[in-house]
Amino acid sequence: MSENILTTSNIALNEQFNSKEEAVRYVGGLLHSQGYVDEAYIGQMLEREEVTSTYMGNFVAIPHGTEDGKKSVKETGITIVTVPEGVDFGGGNIVKLLIGIAGKGDEHLEVLSQIALVCSEEENIEKILQAESKEAILSIFEEVN
C-alpha cells in the first residue's frame, strides 16, 4: 500500500463503541483529523450507512462516504480501528474491524482491492484483531503488496 495512505497515526487499537453511528463518526473523525477529508465527509459516511450498510462479513465494515462525498476528500487515505468487543452494525452483524476509506477520484478502488486481499483471509483479520501494536497491523497490510 502506498506510503502515507496508511500510517500508525491512522490506526486505533482496542476502541469501544455503543452504536454503529458512534463507530462511523469516530472513523470519519480520524480521516478528518489526519487531513484526508473535510468535516462534511463524516456526515456523508453516515448517509452511506443509511443507504446500505458497509458491513462486509467476517467482522469487517468499511465505512466510506457517498458518491457525493467525494468532493469532501482532500487526499486518499484509510484508517483502521479495532473493536475487540464488537459493535452491532444492525441485523446482528457484529463488527470488530473498521476500515475507513476516503478516496480521491478512482484511487479508492486500488485501496479497496488491497483491503479485500487482506480481509479475504480470516486469519489476517484474526491477526489484526490480536495485534498489540500499530506497527504489527501495518506489517500485515504491507505483506500483501
Report the catalytic residues.
64
Q: How many helices (H) and strands (E) does the chain have?
A: 5, 5
SS3 of residue 67 by DSSP: helix
CB 107 within 8 A of CB 76: yes
Dihedral-angle region of residue 6 (phi above 0 means left; psi in -120 to 50 means alpha; beta otherwise): beta
- CA–CA separation, 13 and 15 (whole Å): 6
